[in-house]
Amino acid sequence: MAIEGTDTAQTRPIRLGMVGGGKDAFIGAVHRIASRIDGAYELVAGALSSTPEKALESGQALGLKKDRTYASFADMAKREARLKDGIEAVAIVTPNHVHYPAAREFLKRGIHVICDKPLTSTLADAKKLVKAAESSSALFFLTHNYTGYPMVRQARELVQSGELGTIRVIQVEYPQDWLTIEQDNKQAEWRTDPARTGLGGSTGDIGTHAYNLASFITGQLAESLAADLQSFVPGRQVDDNGHVMLRYASGARGMLWCSQVAPGNENNLKIRVYGDKGGLEWHQENPNYLYLTPFGEPKRIITRGGAGMSESIGPSTRIPPGHPEGYLEGFANLYKDAADVIRAHQRGEDLSSLVPNVEDGLAGVRFIDACVKSSSRNAAWVKLDG
Amino acid sequence: MAIEGTDTAQTRPIRLGMVGGGKDAFIGAVHRIASRIDGAYELVAGALSSTPEKALESGQALGLKKDRTYASFADMAKREARLKDGIEAVAIVTPNHVHYPAAREFLKRGIHVICDKPLTSTLADAKKLVKAAESSSALFFLTHNYTGYPMVRQARELVQSGELGTIRVIQVEYPQDWLTIEQDNKQAEWRTDPARTGLGGSTGDIGTHAYNLASFITGQLAESLAADLQSFVPGRQVDDNGHVMLRYASGARGMLWCSQVAPGNENNLKIRVYGDKGGLEWHQENPNYLYLTPFGEPKRIITRGGAGMSESIGPSTRIPPGHPEGYLEGFANLYKDAADVIRAHQRGEDLSSLVPNVEDGLAGVRFIDACVKSSSRNAAWVKLDG
Amino acid sequence: MAIEGTDTAQTRPIRLGMVGGGKDAFIGAVHRIASRIDGAYELVAGALSSTPEKALESGQALGLKKDRTYASFADMAKREARLKDGIEAVAIVTPNHVHYPAAREFLKRGIHVICDKPLTSTLADAKKLVKAAESSSALFFLTHNYTGYPMVRQARELVQSGELGTIRVIQVEYPQDWLTIEQDNKQAEWRTDPARTGLGGSTGDIGTHAYNLASFITGQLAESLAADLQSFVPGRQVDDNGHVMLRYASGARGMLWCSQVAPGNENNLKIRVYGDKGGLEWHQENPNYLYLTPFGEPKRIITRGGAGMSESIGPSTRIPPGHPEGYLEGFANLYKDAADVIRAHQRGEDLSSLVPNVEDGLAGVRFIDACVKSSSRNAAWVKLDG
Amino acid sequence: MAIEGTDTAQTRPIRLGMVGGGKDAFIGAVHRIASRIDGAYELVAGALSSTPEKALESGQALGLKKDRTYASFADMAKREARLKDGIEAVAIVTPNHVHYPAAREFLKRGIHVICDKPLTSTLADAKKLVKAAESSSALFFLTHNYTGYPMVRQARELVQSGELGTIRVIQVEYPQDWLTIEQDNKQAEWRTDPARTGLGGSTGDIGTHAYNLASFITGQLAESLAADLQSFVPGRQVDDNGHVMLRYASGARGMLWCSQVAPGNENNLKIRVYGDKGGLEWHQENPNYLYLTPFGEPKRIITRGGAGMSESIGPSTRIPPGHPEGYLEGFANLYKDAADVIRAHQRGEDLSSLVPNVEDGLAGVRFIDACVKSSSRNAAWVKLDG
């Protein structure tokens, strides 16, 4: 057991702004906590709601200065870019359809963007955002936060170092149950409205996490997919359950299930990867353990921080094994890694990181788009590359 | 805790014969143990191998009388039918392609048949066997043994009593790993030979168990399916991994995964069923527990023999909760139930039971056939009803 | 995966009698099933109840011949010993206080005894029974059935081969909940009556199993113990919860907890053993898995029949890994092993086996006796060796 | 699923100092992260090491101003108390023997103390610290951090609301394995040195956590205990394994096991509590689940934030169910609650909280002291009340 805590607050915190995340929001608070855990950011500005009064009120509640609480992201981007101590990065935590227009404004002005997933609500927007990011001097990070879990990174390293041999089968699933019946809270409302969430429902909200996780661990993107999507709850306009078969260029095959109507599942994201030499398994709800079975040997339980963990994973974990880290620490790893990349960038250096980028975001929107297309064609195979 | 053991050896044991199950066989020994557990059968005759010397040798090893150890099932059917104390039932535990011809001989002569799954190696044979069974005075039982597990029967009862509401989603999987690399033992040999096993590999050997389990619990047969089958091991002639999407007439949808190349999985059959009122989950490898979540309530663990188990399940279990029953006891439940039906039949009574019958067997072969067809058509939807 | 079923019915079954195990009994039915699983015994005689009418009725229900259904064990011992095809072995499954007098009668007449635990209801009886066994030509087997589980035998082998190094700590527990409130069924009645069960309640009924399990796996008997016993349910005359600290001559230390008043525990027997090189863990309620952690390495899951299991354990298991075996198969291993020893004995050979013997039984009664003594002396340390 | 994130950064952060927690320290970094998670504190001063150069270096690494990086806690207490914007609270995260002298200095000057456990390294110091806290205008908080886990608080509420009935049995254990062999890192060094850690080794470091957890959940302190402590690793001066039997005034009985030499255990703290109406179970390594069994009903899994959780627990959790919170969030709950109490105190209000206080700390040291005393008297019963 390595007993050591880490702290990255060695240097001045990065000045952070936030778009979205006001009262009644969920993911904004998560981003704020994640940004604070390692002390690498300081939240100094916000356009926290699309309703100006709410934006102001939310800013005050968070202790923001009044003159840095904005009524719109456009105002914030303009003014902060001109301030001497303006924000260096912005977290975009709005409903999906706002990701593209907001990100564009900040990228345009050289402010780094940390954006929630999925990248955008439409494929067209996603492609435009890729261009915007490519032509900007600023950096773009996408918070597919499950990639921040240490044992997910360990899984990726095991696959990439060949421990599993040639990958044959990928099984990934993300069932939830909170939309089993009609819900009228704010979270449910926008997530089931195609205008704000995009065409995919469960596929966009969680299926895209599952797809990204499989790609992150295996290093492979699907070539084509066949999807059978359902909207089980009467009147629902987007899918709340999706069954997807995947084909990878390497010959590997996958299945992906996402659901918001599976009672008894909270955030039951799980992935299993099988190659000709071994298999591995990881569960989000108990994320400190990774199960590895080299073919013909007993299953081994690799623990976060414990025996069997690769040295390279060390910086992604804070506390000794057996003291569980969770969702917020995994999320914080993305913020911490992004801070390292931003600081290197500020020093003129180019640092690579494991944080998903705009291309990963585009791949995710392609996935959603292909699911919706395939399902509308009776689950015909649809390519993801175009 | 109900402390009570049960024993069904109250009456004369049923005289049983066996076809297959000689030296080096696997499932024959399982059938023999299952038949002994409740003392309801006595093995008195056998045609244990297609090789006459092996048949004789195997019969002696099992303590059978020499004159009741036969060189072929045909000989056995003919002679036993004429004996005054000839066999009343026969267990057929051969490779799949022998099921039909063997069953036909015994059914023709009024000897009850207990047959291993899948019903037959071809759909044509399956249809002929249905007719043979219908026109026989004898009974036909199919050992889809997982239906014998008490908690599987409990799951079925919960679904049928409406505890889950309208069924929406069925997730069933049966991964193994023993064929991850090429194997040269007897079990692997016939199971990967299309002439003996049939066109389906993993779909026929274990996918059909998974499909049957879903039908047994939900009371529904799929209307159509789309299957993407793979043969990952070079040179293998049948599928060793199958991804299947299912559509049920009720509007329910399912996913089924079967694999023999998933390292770290022994016999990892698992089923999850979700309705608009609740969900349930059962794992074959730890079969004494059933997880039930009424939507909006905490998950409950129903234990075999314990609180939450329905009274009707009582006769399917032998010992108090916390003392695990396993595969053999589940299998024995089919033998015990079949014995009850056979004895009732001998008394001129008609007793219904939960043991799968020839129609369930036909449904299983339809499933295999549809999987192979769909996969050969690029996973197009194929109906199962024809 | 070794795919092979085993069957030991190669030879004539051993003729078995039974004392106890009539209507309303529990453990008798378990013994009967265990004796049948491998086809090595045939039940032909019984003195199934201390009430003559019940004895007769129970015998008929089990299909025994009328003239071999006895009103008392004394009658049975006398007459069967004289019959040409009299019983070769007897299973004693009565309440504890009858074990000694019954066993004595059969041992005296050269009939092998398979006796349920604890050996006797008093230490004096236990010592006399040891002498009776020693001076008899017949064999004595004690059904501490948990020693029959394959993974328990695997644990023993790992300890004895030095995989854990020098043993330091043993943690064993056996909580149940069925006596949380007063019960009035037959099982509860005699188990809480000191005249029939002995001075120990939970210590005698299940603590002795836990203690035996620790001894079986580690090969060590405790030198002394300190016990704090409680009778939580008002009016109960024997302990229903026991806390015990153990000291072994080797310097190892242990804790043992037994309880019949711990809601949520069915038969939650669990053992953990730690040495200076590694640790292991086994749970009776999911008995097909053994957890082994060599110090400094990831935990490994050894599965019954799977990778990591020693070859020597093979004969203690019947079916491939992933198809769970349970309580009855573990119990049946004792019957199977006893049959092998009996047959060898009949051939004039001396076969050693893992089945607990009369000395193990005496150790168990010493444990109970020491617990009761220690508790009556305010949990002072009491030696077990005298 | 309640989708809502919480953030407590509504007001000016509390100015925090730290004693200990410099380079190579472990728990200091944990306290810093815990203090940041909810944005309620700002670290502005430190006496981070007993070595002045290291103290300075560590302060710089954490971004502290040079003039607020002190060479000793005495200097810090004196100067900060005089500063207009001096620290309002101090976190004491040194080896145990420094807790008392450091806490005394700050309490004397009206600076609130957040102190790591155990309270002190000797019982005499503990009693003096109680007096110091009582006579101070400042508040004292002890970070028995496991009490901050939401499901631990839920367990406490269930017990106190009578769900389990009268408590009979408490089983608590905290095994680790990191001291299985001799270690020469800084953490191991002071933790095995009686002069710094106190007389208890594993009992003081982790046994006291286990004991506190049992008290927190059940609301009961033990009246007496019998302890058998061992130092298995040759040359070790303090216990590395402890077996303890507990008696409570209410009639409840307990067992406590702590170990640092149990291979395969990282921080495997686990508690089980049984009453005459039900039982519960909680595991630190998977802390988002609480298992509750009302006697005679199926076991229920209560999830953090999910169905079955009491409303009162809401403020102790940040994110929706199924997204695990871990050790740091539990620890942060103590910091958050302490901040609420401190702010109320600053407003002249008296707010009660669940954070352990100096009396709880004294109870913990009494436990350690009694363990050591009992063990030296051959595990005789020792009272904890004097």
Q: Give which of C87, C19, C26, C29 is closest to C50, Cα–Cα.
A: C19
Q: Give yes or no for a contact between A93 and A31, defined as CB atoms under 8 angstroms apart.
A: yes
Query: Which residues from chain C sit within 8 angstroms of residue D259, using beta carbons?
Result: 169, 274
Record: contact A245-B228, CB cut-off 8 A? yes
**Amino acid identity for residue D249 in this structure:** A
Chain D nearest-CA distance from A76, in A, is 21
In the predicted structure, residue B9 carries a pLDDT above the cut 50: no
CB-based contacts of D82, cutoff 8 Å, min separation 6? none
Q: ipTM value of the model?
A: 0.95
* Tens-digit pLDDT profile for residues C14-48: 999 999 999 878 899 999 999 999 999 999 999 99
In the predicted structure, residue B192 carries a pLDDT above the cut 90: no
Record: contact A226-B226, CB cut-off 8 A? yes
Of C173, C253, C261, the CB nearest to D230: C253
Of C171, C245, C291, the CB nearest to D228: C245
Record: contact A301-C303, CB cut-off 8 A? no
- Is the Cβ of D299 closer than 8 Å to some Cβ of chain C? yes
Buried/exposed code over D87-119 (b: 16+ C-beta within 10 A; e: otherwise): bbbbbbbbbbbbbbbbbbbbbebebbbbbbbbb
Of A7, A36, A306, the CB nearest to D62: A7
D175: β partners: D259
- Is the Cβ of C306 closer than 8 Å to some Cβ of chain A? yes
- For chain C, the average pLDDT equals 94
Of D296, D297, D300, the CB nearest to B299: D300
Rounded CA separation A367/A359 (Å): 12
Rounded CA separation B367/B214 (Å): 12
Pairing mode, strands D241-248 and D222-230: antiparallel
Query: For B149-317+363-383, CATH number?
Result: 3.30.360.10
Q: Give me the mean pLDDT over the D331-347 stretch.
A: 97
Query: Which residues from chain B sit within 8 angstroms of residue A226, using beta carbons?
Result: 226, 228, 245, 379
Record: contact B29-C6, CB cut-off 8 A? yes
CB-based contacts of C39, cutoff 8 Å, min separation 6? B32, B36, B63, C7, C8, C9, C13
| pLDDT grade for D6, boundaries at 50, 70 and 90 | very low
**Amino acid identity for residue A173 in this structure:** E
Residue contacts between A and C (CB atoms, under 8 Å): 32
- Is the Cβ of D185 closer than 8 Å to some Cβ of chain A? yes
Of C296, C299, C306, the CB nearest to A300: C299
Q: What are phi and psi of B212, to 5 degrees?
A: -65, -40
Rounded CA separation A108/A101 (Å): 11
Record: contact B306-D297, CB cut-off 8 A? no
Of B259, B265, B278, the CB nearest to A263: B278
- Is the Cβ of A163 closer than 8 Å to some Cβ of chain B? no
* Tens-digit pLDDT profile for residues B260-278: 999 999 999 999 999 999 9
CB atoms within 10 A of CB B21: 27
Q: Mutation test of the interface with chain A: which of B158, B164, B169, choosing the one with the most A Cβ atoms within 10 A?
A: B169
Record: contact A32-D61, CB cut-off 8 A? no
Q: Give which of C179, C245, C239, C253 is closest to C203, Cα–Cα.
A: C239
| Residue-level pLDDT at D386 | 54
| Residue-level pLDDT at A349 | 96
* Tens-digit pLDDT profile for residues A331-382: 999 999 999 999 999 999 999 999 999 999 999 999 999 999 999 999 999 9
Do the domains A149-317+363-383 and A6-138 match in fold? no
Burial of D182 (0-12, 13-18, 19+ CB in 10 A): exposed
Rounded CA separation A229/B233 (Å): 31
Record: contact A322-D266, CB cut-off 8 A? yes
- Is the Cβ of B303 closer than 8 Å to some Cβ of chain C? yes
Tokens representing D243?
């077996």
Task: Kindly state the DSSP code that residue C311 receives in the 8-state scheme.
Answer: G
| Residue-level pLDDT at A3 | 36
| pLDDT grade for D108, boundaries at 50, 70 and 90 | very high
| Residue-level pLDDT at A24 | 76
- Is the Cβ of D303 closer than 8 Å to some Cβ of chain B? yes
Pairing mode, strands D299-303 and D289-294: antiparallel
Q: Give me the mean pLDDT over the C249-262 stretch.
A: 98
Rounded CA separation C334/D330 (Å): 49
Instruction: List C-alpha distances in Å: D361 to C34, C326, C340, D339.
Output: 55, 47, 61, 19
Nearest CA in chain C to B304: C266
Of D168, D263, D291, the CB nearest to C274: D263
Query: Which residues from chain B sit within 8 angstroms of residue D322, using beta carbons?
Result: none
Q: Cis omega before residue B263 (within 30°)?
A: no
| Residue-level pLDDT at D105 | 98
Q: Give me the mean pLDDT over the A215-221 stretch.
A: 97
Query: Which residues from chain C sit within 8 angstroms of residue D164, using beta carbons?
Result: 263
- Residue A163's SS3 state is coil
- Is the Cβ of B300 closer than 8 Å to some Cβ of chain D? yes
Q: Give yes or no for a contact between D5 and A26, defined as CB atoms under 8 angstroms apart.
A: yes
Record: contact A264-B247, CB cut-off 8 A? no
Chain A nearest-CA distance from C254, in A, is 24
| pLDDT grade for B386, boundaries at 50, 70 and 90 | low
Query: Which residues from chain D sit within 8 angstroms of residue B298, using beta carbons?
Result: 292, 300-303, 306-308
| Residue-level pLDDT at A25 | 81
pTM, 2 dp: 0.96
* Tens-digit pLDDT profile for residues B282-291: 999 999 999 9
Query: Which residues from chain A sit within 8 angstroms of residue C301, using beta carbons?
Result: 298-301
Question: E strands of chain A, at which residues?
Answer: 14-19, 41-47, 89-92, 112-115, 140-142, 167-175, 222-230, 241-248, 253-259, 270-275, 278-283, 289-294, 299-303, 382-383
Work out whether the CA dihedral C29, C257, B289, C328 comes out positive or negative: negative
Q: What are phi and psi of A225, to 5 degrees?
A: -145, 160
Nearest CA in chain C to A306: C298
Give the dihedral of Cα atoms C268, C273, C274, C280; nearest 10 deg.
-80
Nearest CA in chain B to C175: B322
Q: How many CA atoms are closer than 13 Å to the CA of B138, on its beta-carbon side?
A: 24
Chain D nearest-CA distance from B303, in A, is 8
Q: Cis omega before residue A298 (within 30°)?
A: no
In the predicted structure, residue A299 carries a pLDDT above the cut 60: yes
Q: Give yes or no for a contact between D266 and A306, defined as CB atoms under 8 angstroms apart.
A: yes
| pLDDT grade for C194, boundaries at 50, 70 and 90 | confident
- Residue A100's SS3 state is helix
- CB within 8 Å of chain A, chain B residues 327-386: 378-379, 381
- Residue B286's SS3 state is coil
Work out whether the CA dihedral A124, A126, A132, A135 comes out positive or negative: negative
Chains with 3 or more CB pairs under 8 A to chain B: A, C, D
Of B296, B298, B302, the CB nearest to D301: B298
Q: Out of 3.40.50.720, 3.40.190.10, 3.40.50.1240, 3.40.50.850, which CATH number does the structure's domain D6-138 have? A: 3.40.50.720
* Tens-digit pLDDT profile for residues D62-98: 999 999 999 999 999 999 999 999 999 999 999 999 9
Work out whether the CA dihedral C285, C287, C292, C298 comes out positive or negative: negative
Record: contact C33-B37, CB cut-off 8 A? yes
- Is the Cβ of D180 closer than 8 Å to some Cβ of chain C? yes
Q: What are phi and psi of A253, to 5 degrees?
A: -125, 150
- Is the Cβ of B301 closer than 8 Å to some Cβ of chain D? yes
A171: β partners: A255, A272
CB atoms within 10 A of CB B234: 7
| pLDDT grade for D184, boundaries at 50, 70 and 90 | confident
Record: contact B178-C3, CB cut-off 8 A? yes
Chain D nearest-CA distance from C105, in A, is 42
Give chain A's count of helices (H) and strands (E).
Answer: 12, 14
Record: contact D326-A322, CB cut-off 8 A? no
Longest dimension (CA), chain A: 64
Q: Give me the mean pLDDT over the B124-143 stretch.
A: 97
Q: Cis omega before residue C118 (within 30°)?
A: yes
Burial of D345 (0-12, 13-18, 19+ CB in 10 A): middle
In the predicted structure, residue D8 carries a pLDDT above the cut 70: no
Q: Give yes or no for a contact between B291 and B283, defined as CB atoms under 8 angstroms apart.
A: no
Which range scores top for mean pLDDT: A53-57, C191-195, D18-22?
D18-22
Spell out the domain ranges in chain A.
Answer: 6-138, 149-317+363-383
Q: Give me the mean pLDDT over the D237-266 stretch.
A: 97
Run of H or E residues at C273: strand C270-275
Task: Kindly state the DSSP code that residue B206 receives in the 8-state scheme.
Answer: I
| Residue-level pLDDT at C384 | 95
CB atoms within 10 A of CB A160: 12
CB-based contacts of A19, cutoff 8 Å, min separation 6? A46, A47, A48, A73, A76, A90, A91, A92, A93, A94, A98, A102
Record: contact D300-B298, CB cut-off 8 A? yes
Chains with 3 or more CB pairs under 8 A to chain C: A, B, D
| Residue-level pLDDT at B75 | 96
Query: Which residues from chain D sit within 8 angstroms of residue A328, using beta carbons?
Result: 37, 318-319, 325-326, 328-329
Tokens representing A385?
């590359």
Q: Give me the mean pLDDT over the C106-116 stretch.
A: 98
Query: Which residues from chain C sit within 8 angstroms of residue B319, using beta carbons?
Result: 30, 327-328
Q: Give me the mean pLDDT over the C128-156 stretch.
A: 98
Give the dihedral of Cα atoms D45, D47, D53, D54; nearest 10 deg.
-100
Record: contact D168-C232, CB cut-off 8 A? yes
